[in-house]
Structure 1
């Protein structure tokens, strides 16, 4: 099965460099334009279903794609972003100033237990449960609209990288990455944004 991994399109918080986590931030005007371009890019890929995070920025991205491709849309709670309520709405610099110890622990220990922050291992585990379930369906090709951090944890799993390495590659807004899951899972391409040019 082909799984097209899509990071949601742009929001105002993305432009400001703020952590969003599970804050429900809508797409901005540029984001809706990006979503249309994702749909155009996927129009030749025979996508049979779209799965999305319940968060507004992902759901709006997925809805545009679903309508333009005329394929069914399913909302799945397991695709939501990592819970990071401790530093939601902050920049990275503000996070390090206020929560240096907590952020360092979370970044370096996949099973870190920090109040208000979901561990990287928990995030990866719920995405893997989702993939295991859709692998049992008879799809040849699906699109998954989710968030940068959770998608990077899955890509770490595909590439057999430690979770602490997830920051060593980036996923831009409205990017598409492709994973194939047959006898084994493999990354075909990463962070494609050519459709946005």
Structure 2
């Protein structure tokens, strides 16, 4: 079995470098173009199912892919982005100016209890739970459309990396990370964006 982890395509807030969290921002024009390129990339692959975060930017990405593959995406709230309402709508610079202590605690302590911010360990737990449930189905190839932090938490689990190390790799909008689940999960490739080139 192969799982394709897709980070949603671009939004206006991505272009501005603004934290989105669970704010329901739709794709922008470039985002829909990226989603079309994702759909083309998957068009010749035997995909059986598409699961997606219910947030618009993920669902719209999944919808464009699903239309090309004649598959209706399945919404799964466990695949949503990390709740970060304390600094939603801020840039990283603004976050560090206003909430440096909270941000540093959250970044380094996976169990940090900060009002309005979901602990990263909790994000990882629900992503792993969704992943294990999806991989128990009798599918061969599945697409999961989700978000940067959420996907990085799952990747850390697959690679057995401590959660704070999730910042040592990057996931671009509309990128694909493939996981083979034939025996134990293992990463086949990470942050692949060749479909967006040219």
Local SS of the residue matching 1:112: coil
**What is the aligned residue count?**
197
Aligned-residue CA RMSD (Å): 0.6
User: Where does residue 6 of structure 2 map in the other structure?
Assistant: 6
- What is the DSSP-based 3-state SS (H/G/I as helix, E as strand, rest coil) of the residue aligned with 1:130? helix
**Which residue is equivalent to 1:146?**
146
| Mapped pair 1:174 → 2:174 | yes
- Alignment partner, residue 74 of structure 2: 74
Match in the other structure for 1:133: 133
What is the alpha-carbon distance in structure 2 between the residues aligned to residue 69 and residue 36 of structure 1? Answer: 12
**CA displacement, residues 76-121 of structure 1 (integer Å, 9 cap, x when unaligned):** 0000000000000000000000000100000000011100000000
What is the Cα deviation at residue 72 of structure 1? 2.8
The SS at the match of 1:188 is strand
Question: Normalised by the size of structure 1, how large is the TM-score?
Answer: 0.99
Higher mean C-alpha displacement, 141-150 vs 43-52: 43-52
Q: Flag structure 2 segments of 5+ consecutive residues without an equivalent.
A: none
TM-score (norm 2): 0.98
Question: Structure 1: which 5+ residue stretches go unaligned?
Answer: none
For 1:114 and 1:192, the matched residues in 2 are separated by: 33
Q: Is the 8 A contact 2:10 2:173 kept in 1?
A: yes
Residue in 1 aligned with 2:65? 65
CA distance in 1, matches of 2:133, 2:72: 17
